[in-house]
A and B are shown apart, each in its own frame.
Chain A
Amino acid sequence: MAAFVWLTIMTALRILGRNRMRAGLTMLGIVIGVAAVIAMVSIGEGAKRAVQAQIATMGTNVIIIFPGVTSASGVRGSQGSAITLTVSDALELKKRIPLLVDTGWSRRDVLQIVYGNKNWNGPIYGISPSYLTIRDWSFTSGGPFTQTDLDSAARVALIGQTIVDNLFEPGEEPVGAVIRIKNVPFRIIGVLAPKGQSSQGTDQDDVIFIPFSTAERKVFGTSFIGSVAAMFGSTDQVEDLPMAAEQIREVLRARHRLQAEQGDDFTIKTQVDIGKVQEGTSETLTMMLFAIASVSLLVGGIGIMNILLVSVTERTREIGVRMAVGAKRYHIVMQFLIEAMTLSLVGGVLGIVLGVAGAKLTTLIAGWPTIISGNVIVISFFFSLVVGLFFGLYPANKAARLNPIEALRYE
């Protein structure tokens, strides 16, 4: 049996080798199908990974709470325009909800920053020290400010890489330098490690952090002490996020004395929610590409079936001879199945090579990240085998059911 299979494979390869043009054209459908699957899945995976990496820069297991909108005589302001969240809300949340590891808060304004003869307009965040840990900020030099800085409203600042690039000469050490924000001098005590783009495409490194109390009292100026633009919480486990979000909602509703019929005056978003939107997009794309690739494989399979039916007709006499000298039905079935699978497998392997090359080329030329997973290669290989098997069955059975006498007489 092993000898039979081996010889049949050799025969199949020789027959395909003789009709190279025909075999090549027949395989084309499978080649394109498999190459498309590999390239697309690689690009899709790459995109997904990039999105995941971007989402991870938000922090670990983060919950973000924005204030609601103002409503003056029916005219509603933008998201977060209402002053409904306060520092004491954040402190209360931490106290009341054990699931929350930490809570933090921030306010933001865009102001001019001056250093020496250079200036830059960038977003200034007044933050609680816990903000840094929740959002996973680390430092390339220097370090964070502390609760003492917050309590004393110290004039210290942390700056992002974009600020460093724009205000400082290359090689100049920013830590220890003094910049001016709205004419208030701030000493830089830390440079933040770069995070790159956010999932919304904004530059996360174009940022200056100063203590919340300093911002409130010395920089922003505010009519309502303690109001924050956003609150942040984090949990230990990603699974705890929905539960924590629900508890935050209950606590805040109670604190804001909202009646049952009133809507929330705040919005809660978890990292999972944000991730879902992004992943949903790439998932849709992957599904669509998969559908296209499937159609290509189907067409390729039909091509194989077609060429095998031609082959069965062309070789009717040969089949008759084989039957006359003692080929059983399964011998004939096997012969054509192996031919079909050889076609589809060679096509599959070419497709894998082409697909991997295509993915690499995409990274090289377009700069898109691609991830070639071993799984997709194995699945493609298996799939092309199945295509050959499935579309080879009909011609193979047709050949095996030939009447040897008629087959021998066939002209």
Chain B
Amino acid sequence: MASLIECDDVWKIYRVGDVDVQALRGLSLTIEQGEFVAIMGSSGSGKSTLMNMLGCLDQPTKGHYRLNGVEVGRLTPDELAGIRNQQIGFVFQSFNLIPRTSALENAQLPLFYRGLSLKEQRVKAAEALGRVGLHGREDHYPTQLSGGQQQRVAIARALVTSPSLLLADEPTGNLDTQSSQEIMRILETLNRDEGITIILVTHEVDVAAYAAREIVIKDGQILSDRKTKAGPISSPVGA
């Protein structure tokens, strides 16, 4: 069986004015199904570019990126949208919930674009909200929820499609310590109990400590790639 993610000599070059900016410079990376990976790096290191590419929001300029064996570089924007809808869940630093829309409807959104019936959408979204501990808050609007709760709605939205890959871009960046820990425990549980592959971008060491593998990016290349935990993941110290 192929790896979930295979990056092979991936380059991403942006043109800013007259200057070419090489955000990724021949990066190669393999991530297996069920891994929990933390990607670290300073700003400008290319980690956001890598995340966008892994999340099929962007395509490599050169090189190959295969997700579940599918060459992403050749897909059209609509095909990319289809892959995001079917296989990828996003969790953002700033939650990115749709304002003035209830938690349930926010969680329904990916299913809405999948074309499920309204009833199915509601049942699955309610179930996803239950999994992140937001049972009973279905009708709350984002403004009525705390930051941690909003992020949990975002996780429910990412989960609702049963994706094979969950991408979390600084998921705790806007949260206090306690909420951060709650969020990380939810992600950890999802990885451990449901086998969802999680890729986490962070610059906080204690957040990265939840992951079993830590990749450090610098200047568009992998600086280090090491397993921080052996075997099946156990609860990290101090969490």
Contact = CB atoms under 8 A, between A and B. Distances in A.
Interface of A: 1, 3-4, 6-7, 18, 317-318, 320-331, 404-405, 408
Can you list the 9 inter-chain pairs with the closest CB atoms, starting with the nearest? A326-B85, A325-B110, A326-B113, A328-B78, A328-B81, A321-B96, A326-B84, A327-B113, A404-B57
Contacts of A317: 96
20 contacts: A3-B117, A4-B112, A4-B115, A321-B96, A321-B98, A322-B109, A323-B81, A324-B55, A325-B84, A325-B90, A325-B113, A326-B86, A326-B110, A327-B81, A328-B78, A328-B113, A329-B77, A329-B78, A331-B113, A408-B92
A321 B112 CA distance: 13
Contacts of A327: 81, 113
Contact of A325 (B78, B109, B118): B109
B26 to A, nearest CB: 21
Interface string B58-97: 1000000000000000000110011011100010100011
A18 B96 contact: no
B99 interface: yes
B227 interface: no
A240 B117 CA distance: 66
B229 interface: no
Given A326-B82, A329-B81, 17 more contacts: A3-B112, A3-B116, A7-B112, A318-B98, A318-B99, A321-B97, A321-B98, A322-B109, A323-B81, A324-B55, A325-B113, A326-B81, A326-B84, A327-B81, A328-B113, A405-B52, A408-B96
A324 B91 CA distance: 10
A324 B115 contact: no
Contacts of B135: none
Contacts of B112: 3-4, 7
Interface centre among B86, B113, B114, B117 (most CB of A within 10 A): B113
A405 B57 contact: yes
A321 B94 CA distance: 11
Nearest to B157: A325
Nearest to B81: A328
Contacts of B99: 318
A333 to B, nearest CB: 11
A325 B77 CA distance: 13
Contacts of A3: 112, 115-118, 121
A408 B48 CA distance: 12
Nearest to A407: B57
Given A317-B96, A408-B96, A325 B85 contact: yes
A340 to B, nearest CB: 19
B154 to A, nearest CB: 9
A325 B101 CA distance: 16
A7 B90 contact: no
B115 A1 contact: yes
B201 to A, nearest CB: 14
A207 to B, nearest CB: 73
Nearest to B119: A3
A336 B145 CA distance: 28
Contacts of A405: 52, 57-58
A20 to B, nearest CB: 14
Nearest to B84: A326
A239 B38 CA distance: 90
B131 to A, nearest CB: 17
Nearest to A400: B77
A405 B169 CA distance: 13
Contacts of B57: 323-324, 404-405, 408
A138 B161 CA distance: 82
A168 B77 CA distance: 90
A327 B84 CA distance: 9
A323 B78 CA distance: 10
A70 to B, nearest CB: 86
A319 to B, nearest CB: 10
Interface in B131-158: 157
Contacts of A322: 98, 109, 113
Interface centre among B58, B81, B96, B110 (most CB of A within 10 A): B81
A317 B98 CA distance: 9
A160 B66 CA distance: 97
